[in-house]
Each structure stands twice: as C-alpha cells, then as structure tokens.
Amino acid sequence: MSIPILEVVDLHAAYGRIEVLRGVDLRVPRGAVVALLGPNGAGKSTLLKVISGQMEQTSGDIHLAGVHVAGAKPDELARLGLTTVPEGRSVFPNLSVEENLQLMSYAGVPASQVLDTAYSYFPRLHERRYQLAGTLSGGEQQMLALARALTSDPALLLLDELSMGLAPLIVDELYETVGQIAQTGVSILVVEQFARTALRIADYAAVMSGGRVVATGEPDEIGSIMADVILGGVA
Amino acid sequence: MDSFLSYTFIGLFTGAAYAIAASGLVLTYSTTRVFNIAHGAVGMVFAFVYWDFSQRQHMPAWLALALVLLVVAPAFGVFVQRVLTRGLGSQPIGVSLVVTVGILVGLIGVATQIWPPASRTVPQFFAGHLITLGNVVITWHQVLTVVLSGVVAGCLYLLLNRTRIGTAMRASVDNPDLLQLYGGRPQLVAALAWAIGTSLAALAGILLTPVIGLQYYDLTLLVISAYAAAMLGKLTSLPMTYVGAMGLGILQSYAVGYLPSAGNVAGLRAVVPTLFLFGIIVLLPQAPLRIGQVKGLVSAPVPTLGRASIWGGALVLFAMLLAVGLSTSNLLLLGTAATYAIVMLSLVLLTGYGGQVSLAQFTFAGVGAVAYAKIDQPNLFGLLVATLVAAAVGALVAIPVLRLTGLYLALATLAFAQLMDKLVFQASYAFQFNNPLHAERLSVLGLKIDGTGSYTVMMTIFFVLLALGVIAVRRGRLGRILIAMRDSQAACGTLGLDLRWLRVGLFAASAGIAGLAGALFAGLRGTIVANDFQFFASLLVLLVAVIWGVTSVTGAAIGGVFLMYLPVAQSDHANIAGLLFALLGFGAVALGRDPNGLANKIFGFNSWVVDRLYPALAERYPGMALRSRTDEWDGAVDGVDDESLAASGTEVERDVVVAG
C-alpha cells in the first residue's frame, strides 16, 4: 500500500490547560476523500488547525506524504500544497473578488490561471469580479473560498464546515463541487457536522468524540452507527 | 495677485510634504491597524540623522538621503514593527495609543540625548536654484517636493492595487490568519508596510526641515497636519489623503498670509491644521461599533472602602510627617507630586475604568488653574468653580465627538490640547505670552492655609478624598457600567445601555478632577505660567500613569511622585536628561500592554509571599511556624473584585495597597 497523504499519530493538543486532542490517530490515503464527523466539541476543528500549522501540538506526529512535519508555519505548508479552507467565511471582505483570487496564487499557480479556472467553474464570480467579497451572499463567498481549493491544485485539501450558516440547496451545490475536485484526484479531509452530506461524497469516514477518533470505516457503516456515536453509545 | 500666487506655491509645497507623511501614516494604519502617533517623531529623528550624515559627516546630499531613506529608516521601521508594535492591532485602541505615545516620547528623548540642543541648519536641495514666474519665485526644493509627493502617491497606489504583495497588505488587515492559510506572510507584509511608512515619514521630515528648522517638537507635532489629512481619507483612502494634505497646506499658507499677526487671534495661524483635524473628526460619519472585540482586561483589585480609608489615613499622616521635616523647596515638590497624582487619578477614572484615552489631561488642569486664578476667590467656592469650569470644558470637548470612539476621541483631545496651547492659553484672557498669573493660597471654611507644609498636607487630603471617591464609583453600579463599556461597547449596546451621555459625564468628571488639581497647584505655586500646562506634559502624565498602573489608585499615587521626580532627576543629571525621557517612553512601550502597570505587581507581592514563598520555606525548614493559606473559596465574594478573582484562580483573599 502506498504511503498515505496524511498520517496523524497519537496527536495531543491543548488550549492552555484544557486538553482538546487526546491521542488522535487518522490516515487519509492518497486520492481519497475522508469525512471527519462528530458532535460539537469533539476536537475536529482543532485537529484541522494543528494539521494546517495554525496551532502547535503538545505531542504526537503528523506526516504529510510521508514527511514528518513539525513546527511548520501555515504559510509554508500552504506553499507546499496543503490547502485549508477554515470554517466561517474564509474570504477577505474588503478586497474585490478578483483581488481575492489573485492572492490565491501564493500557492504556486500563476494568477492568470487561477482566474481562468475559478471563472470557468463559477461564472457567477466572473459577474461579480469587481465587487467587494464582503458584499457577496454567503453562498457566493463560500464559492470564492472553494475556488482556492479548485485552483491551487493542492496535494491535500482540508475543508472545515463548508455548510455553516448556508441553505441546504446551496450546501448541496457546494458539495457537488467538492465531489468534482475529488474526481481530479485531490485527497480531501472534510470536517462536517451534517453527516449525511459529507458521507455522500466520502470514500472513508472517521468519527471523533472527546478528542479521539472513536470509529473509522466505510461511509455506510459509519452512517448506520452515527446516531449511537452522537448519543454516546460507542467509545 | 503675486502674493496670492506665491502663497499658493508655498501651500502646495507644505501640502506635498504633508501628503508624503500622511500616506506613510495611512499605509501603516491600513496594514496593521496601529495608528502611529509617533509618525512625526520618526520624521524628526530621521531629519536629525540626515543632518548628521550630510552636515556633520559631510557626506554628499544624495548619499545621505539614500542612506536614510533606503537603509536606516526602513530598518528602523522593521524594528518598530517586529519589536515595539507587534500584535498591537488586535489590542484595545488605548493600548496601541499608549505604546505609540511612548515611542514618541522615547524618540524625543533619544534625539535630545544624541543631538543636544544647538543651532543646526539643513540646506535645501538644489539650494540657489530658483524658478521665476513673473514676480513669483519658486525654489527647486519646492518643485522637487511637489514632484516627489506625486511620485510617492502614484507608486503607493500601484503597489497597493496592482501588485500581489500590495493586495496582501490590504488583506492582512482583514484577516492575517487567513492570509497565512493562503500562503502569504503577514509578518513580512507588515514589516514591509512599516519600512515604507517609516521611510516616508523620514522623507517628509527631511523635506520640511530646511523650511521650518531642525527642532525636536515642531517636527514632531507637525504630524498633526498629517493626521488631519489622513482622517479625511478615513485612514484608508490614499487619494483622499492626498487631497486633504494639499488642501490643508494651501489653507495654512493662506492663513499665514492673510490672518492678522497680532491680537487675540494671532495664534489662529498656527492652529489651522489642528482646527482642520478637529473639524474633520467632528464631521466624520459614525464609526461602526466593532463587534467580536471583547478584550476584557483583567483589572487590578479594588479595595474595600474601609481598607482604602486606612491606607489613605496613613498617607495623610506620612505627608504630615514630611511637612514637619522637609524644606520649603522640597515641600513644593511634594505638592507638585500631589498635583500629578490627582491628575493621574482623573486618568484612572477615564482610562483605567472607562477605557477612553485622553491626551489633554494637563490642559484641563490648566483650565482649572486659570479659572481659579481669574475668579480670585481663594476658598472652597473658588475651587468648586474652577472644577466645574474644567468639567464643562471637558464636556465641551466630548460632546462633538460623542458618536466617535477610541482613536477619534483621543485625537480630538490631542487637537484640543494643541488648540489651548497655541490659542487660548496665549490669549489675553488667559496667560498671555509669558505672562504669569497670580493665585492665592486656599482657605477652607474661613481658615487660611498659608504655610507650604500645611498646604501640602491639605493637597494630600484632597488626593485621598478623591481617591476614595473614585474607588466608591468603581465599586458601585456606575463602576460596573464603566467596566462593561470598556470591555465591549457593542455588548453594552445590545443590553440597551445608552453610553453616549455616560461618556460625556465621564469625560467631564475626569476633566473636573484634573481641573481641581490645576487649581490646587495654582494655589501652591502662587504664580503659574502657560508652560506649566503644556500639551507635552499630558503625554507624560498618560505614560507615567500607564507605567505605574492606570487601573489603580496606588498607581496614580506612585506615578505622581515619579513624574514629579523626573524633571528633578533631569536637572540633577543634565547629561542624561534625554536618556531619561527615552527610558520613560520605551518603558511605556514595554509596559503599555498591561495597563495595570507596576502597581498591580505590588498587589501580587503579598499573595506571592503567602502562596509561593511560605510553602517553599515550610518545605525546607519544617520547624518554622508559617501560616499557609488554605485554598477555599469561602467568603471570596465579599470585598473582592470578581474580575481579579476570575483571573487568579486560587487566591481567596487579597491584601491590597491603596495608597503608598
């Protein structure tokens, strides 16, 4: 079996004295979409923060494509091909759409190519290219955020709560795009509270609870035990 | 017509220099959210550096200029960003104001230390080259300045709007963390912005020096014009800033040309930029409340009234002892310390509790002093009137800027202080120029307090009473509202609290306390001059208050003594006078992030002894009978500030020093 694109081994992390991750083990195989599910406060977003370099672990290891990364800054990881779309609206509200897209070229793809790809996937962004991103609707902002995932040709894509605060129809639309990205061979780790949406596009799924991964498996299996996990059955 | 033209050209020249300075200010503010009060001081220091290179070391002008603008200034800018102002943008506005005021004072100190006062001249660029248009003569220097300002504006526009790093600069204001996820480097971007901003400040300083002279304060305060211009662009728009700077330059030039140079409005010519700034701030649309900005500061503990009274009584007794023992000149110093302490008390109320920053506290003291001297009623009535007059003036400043918060309010007070300095205090109804006012010592209920010793004791009593009053306010409902306002105005708004009039009241009360201090000071000295209440002193008061703790009465007491001692130390050790300023300024930079200051460290000492030292000693010497406290929460609420409790976990009881 080939080396997984992401391997997390016995990862611990804490906010001050409060330990949030208590020994997380997780693998994302190359080219696979892994859905990370779990109730509020399970540590999902914290895990993404640690992987993307925004937060430092207290112990444990992270391997990206077999390379042990320790103490790497988020901007270094971003330039190496790790694209993170954090939760909330991850756009710069006071820059125009086009300027937002221009900044995406930091990940290594030339700006003109970024613009082409983004506009071909989302014609709506082209219509609004001179508009400030903060004045876009929530769904359009998330499109803009996803455009970074589309255009930067990442080795690994981390998506945190894409659905937050959006209408179900728009969520479906966005996840369709995620599915398209996955088909191009990008490895994706999706964090999502709405299990069904994420499981539809996932190859594997993992469930976190209380700072640990408590279950892993095929989407179908996980889907059938989700209720138990959330209600505290599996541990 | 000819004179009109030549005034226009002079105006264009000054406007161009303002534009250069202002665009630097806008650049640093819009990329790091730090409003650099010290921008002018930076320009001043680099004008001196340029003088040093070109005149003292006889480098060619172009080499000196290139060295300053391309090497020294950017390096200094990066240093300031990396070391002094890092992370300030996300702090409460008061903190970043204090830190940059600290840089301002520190830079003035450094400049006076390295280049002691002497007459220095910097020649114009291309000196002797003139252009004659009819009867109007323009120097190449002026033309160069105007051209450079255009080049700077154009380059900055291109940088910010047409390049990726410029876009990243603007992005880093919105969300530096996200920029990092994009692969950008917010620290690098901020450093670049500060490097360019500092260079622009230096360029403006160097261009203006041949015209206004190489002075510490003139160049530093010149930045007020830049503030005004930048405000017109709401601190973000470069084109508007440019327009504002040019307009202001021309306006000022016409003011110099056509306003009367004598009489009560003679000072008007000097304060055109300040009036401009004040006007723009007042007319500015309301700044939106920034939400999600709950940055509650952990306050110093507030003592019970009983405990405070005991310490206050002890302080008065101590002052009595000193009054018997000290010489008259030393007693005058003690009285001065009491004055400063009372002024700082006004800051405890305003800044420490209310979270508003004022850069004009000493001006209010001056108003109180003038009122006290003018009405010539050396009794409690006169004192009351002086206090009320100062309070009314304070309210007057606060009302027009009622809608504004933080930075704008602080800048309004700065503009106000400057106005009073140049316009009102110099006028015939106040001090006039260098004309001392006479004031009588106070009499309380028919009992005249004549001796310097007894007067000093009385001032101490006033301090203690006011301190008790401030503590009582803090412990009551009003105090809770103040703290809530300081922590989050938006949250207060959602609770339905109307804070506008509270802010005016707070400002008035604070100005009143400062005015009272001024009145008492006038009585102490007998004669007062405008120089006693200079604008610069207000900055020092703020810095010292923050260093010693602007959230506690103790901080005010110690700070008062410290500020009194500062000029004494400076005259005792004249060769390091500048260094002392620099120490004070950079001390504030270091300590400004914790407004609780050094006083709070003193409060922590007792519990440190009991909680840390006693157990350690008891372990080592088991036989020693040391009382170690038990970690229980019983009775914790009684008489203890809940904020400090939340912060310090296990501390159950607190021993608090009120006045020292």
Q: Could you please report the per-residue DSSP string of A16-72?
A: TTEEEEEEEEEEE-TT-EEEEE--TTSSHHHHHHHHTTSS--SEEEEEETTEEE-S-
pLDDT higher than threshold 90 for residue B192: yes
DSSP B317-342: HHHHHHHHHS-HHHHHHHHHHHHHHH
- Among partner residues B174, B177, B182, which is closest to A104 by beta-carbon distance? B182
Query: To the nearest 5 percent, what fractions of chain A are helix, strand and coil?
Result: 40, 25, 35
Which pairing describes strands A156-160 and A187-191: parallel, antiparallel, or unpaired? Answer: parallel
Within 8 A of A99 by CB-CB distance, chain B residues are 167, 170-171
* Minimal Cβ distance to A84: which of B168, B175, B181: B181
d(CA B139, CA B152): 20
Long-range contacts of B324-327 (CB under 8 A, 24+ apart): B324/B453, B326/B453
- B288-317: pLDDT as tens digits: 545 444 455 566 777 888 888 888 899 989
- Checking if the pLDDT of B435 tops 80, the result is no
Binary contact (A86, B181; C-beta < 8 A): yes
Q: Give A93's contacts in chain B (Cβ within 8 Å).
A: 174
Touching check for A121 and chain B: CB below 8 Å?
no
**Mean pLDDT within B116-141:** 81
- At residue B485, does pLDDT exceed 90? no
pLDDT of residue B644: 40
pLDDT tens for B504-545 read: 889 999 999 999 999 999 888 888 888 888 888 888 888 888
Q: What pLDDT is recorded for position B340?
A: 92
pLDDT at A234 over 60: no
Which residue in B47, B102, B423 sits closest to B215, CA to CA?
B47
Percentage of residues in chain B with pLDDT exceeding 70? 89
Nearest to B174 among A86, A94, A106 (CB): A94
**Residue B615's pLDDT band (cuts 50, 70, 90):** confident
Per-residue pLDDT, B432: 63
pLDDT in tens, B228-250: 888 888 777 888 889 999 999 99
Question: Left if phi > 0, otherwise alpha if psi is -120 to 50, otherwise beta: which for A4?
Answer: beta
**Helix, strand, or coil here: A209?**
strand
B182/A94 touch (CB, cutoff 8 Å), yes or no: no
Contact by Cβ (8 Å): B331, B452: yes
CA distance readout (Å), A5 to A32, A68, A157, A186, A188 = 9, 11, 10, 10, 10
Tell me what pLDDT residue A106 has.
87
Mean of pLDDT over chain B? 82
Is B174 in Cβ contact with A52 (below 8 Å)? no
Class of domain B2-253: mainly alpha
Interface of B with A (CB under 8 A): 164, 167-168, 170-171, 173-175, 177-185
The closest CB to that of A103, out of B173, B177, B182, belongs to: B182
Under the banding of pLDDT at 50, 70 and 90, the label for residue A192 is: confident
B658: pLDDT confidence band, cut at 50, 70 and 90? very low
Nearest-CA neighbor of A111 among B168, B372, B523, B393?
A: B168
The DSSP 8-state label assigned to residue B511 in this structure reads H
Q: Is the pLDDT of residue B88 over 70?
A: yes
The average pLDDT across B67-76 equals: 93
- Which pTM value belongs to this model? 0.83
Q: Which residues have C-beta within 8 Å of that of residue B384, sequence separation ≥ 6?
A: none
What percent of chain B clears pLDDT 90, i.e. is strictly above it?
21
pLDDT attached to residue B656: 36
- Please report the pLDDT score of residue B270 as a whole number: 76
How does pLDDT run across B337-377, given as a tens digit for each residue?
999 999 999 999 988 888 888 888 999 999 999 898 888 88
Count CB-CB contacts under 10 A for residue A235.
10
What local confidence, expressed as pLDDT, does residue A150 receive? 84
pLDDT at B265: 67
Confidence of residue A229 (pLDDT cuts 50, 70, 90): low
Specify the CATH architecture of the domain A6-94+156-230: 3-Layer(aba) Sandwich (3.40)
Structure tokens given for B42: 């930076």
Residue B71 pLDDT > 90, yes or no?
yes
- pLDDT band for position B637 (50/70/90)? very low
Q: Quick check: B181 and A54 CB within 8 A?
A: yes
Q: Which helix (H) or strand (E) holds B153?
A: helix B140-162
Contacts of B164 in chain A (CB under 8 A): 102-103, 105-106, 111
**Residue predicted with more confidence, B567 or B68:** B68
Domain boundaries, chain A: 6-94+156-230
Lowest mean pLDDT among A52-56, A106-110, B131-135: B131-135
Condensed to tens digits (0 to 9), the pLDDT of residues B254-291 reads 888 888 776 666 677 778 888 888 888 878 765 554 54
**Residues B384-434 pLDDT 10s:** 999 999 999 999 888 877 667 677 888 888 888 888 888 877 776 777 656
Q: B448: part of which helix (H) or strand (E)?
A: strand B447-448
Lowest mean pLDDT among A55-59, B2-6, B439-443: B439-443
Give CA–CA dist B486/A157, Å, rounded: 41
pLDDT at B203: 94
